[in-house]
């Protein structure tokens, strides 16, 4: 994967093969993307959102914007430019070929792409001891902490868990079962 310092060395000249296809494809891809992915593209390309929206109206797409869009959003850069009609996804080899095709061979030789960090593996076969408070789960109807459940929870972001906690606290205001679960969770958090 290419970092912001590498992307800053790319030119902002139009490389689109078909402006109409570029308009449609970039707009559709952008609208289907998450807020976090959009922010990552903006940061990586170091451009404003207005510059991205300009692609929607002009169909002009530069290597400096096509590379981050392809890398972050997982799109084929040739598809974005209108050179192919199939979006076969994106990988490091395709990005390197894309950069070579647009005259960045020397830059590719001097700067090596950074590898994406692999997610931490959770050993599923090892049983995990449940906290003492979870041993009282039968009284409030909590599911048993299976390895799959623990792996699922480990994949959630802090923001996801915070939203789950907020929803539990809201339900606790009107539901006795949710109130018991919230109390148990509070005991776990302070222990």
How many residues belong to the chain?
191
- pLDDT at residue 32 is higher than 80: yes
31: tokens are 């609208």
In 3D, which of 53, 66, 59, 54 has the Cα closest to residue 10? 66
3-state secondary structure of 62: strand
* Structural contact between residues 98 and 78, judged by C-beta atoms closer than 8 angstroms: yes
Mean pLDDT confidence for 142-164 = 78
The CA radius of gyration of the chain, in Å to the nearest whole number, is 23
Give CA separation, 18 vs 43, 52, 64, in Å.
Answer: 26, 17, 17
For residue 14, what are the contacts with CB-CB under 8 A and spacing of at least 6?
A: 60, 61, 62
pLDDT at 125: 47
3-state secondary structure of 14: strand
Quick: pLDDT tens for 160-183: 878 888 888 888 888 888 888 888
Give the integer Cα–Cα distance in Å for 134 and 26: 48
Tell me the pLDDT of the chain averaged across its residues: 80
Enter the pTM of the model. Answer: 0.56
- Please, what is the end-to-end C-alpha distance for the chain in angstroms? 42
- Maximal C-alpha separation, the chain: 67
Mean pLDDT confidence for 122-145 = 53
- pLDDT at residue 143 is higher than 80: no
Give CA separation, 136 vs 39, 106, 164, 173, 189, in Å.
Answer: 43, 63, 21, 22, 15
């Amino acid at each position: 994967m290419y970092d912001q310092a590498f992307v800053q060395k790319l030119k902002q000249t139009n490389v689109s093969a078909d402006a109409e296809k570029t308009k449609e494809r970039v707009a559709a891809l952008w609208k289907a993307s998450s807020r976090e992915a959009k922010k990552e593209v903006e940061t990586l390309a170091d451009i404003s959102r207005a510059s991205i929206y300009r692609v929607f109206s002009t169909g002009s797409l530069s290597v400096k914007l096509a590379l981050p869009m392809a890398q972050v959003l997982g799109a084929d850069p040739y598809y974005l430019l209108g050179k192919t009609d199939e979006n076969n996804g994106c990988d490091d080899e395709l990005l390197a070929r894309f950069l070579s095709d647009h005259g960045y061979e020397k830059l590719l030789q001097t700067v090596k792409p950074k590898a994406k960090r692999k997610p931490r593996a959770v050993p599923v076969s090892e049983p995990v001891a449940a906290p003492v408070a979870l041993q009282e789960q039968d009284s409030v109807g909590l599911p048993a902490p299976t390895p799959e459940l623990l792996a699922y929870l480990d994949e959630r972001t802090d923001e996801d868990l915070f939203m789950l906690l907020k929803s539990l606290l809201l339900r606790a205001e009107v539901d006795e079962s949710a109130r018991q679960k919230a109390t148990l969770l509070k005991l776990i958090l302070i222990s």
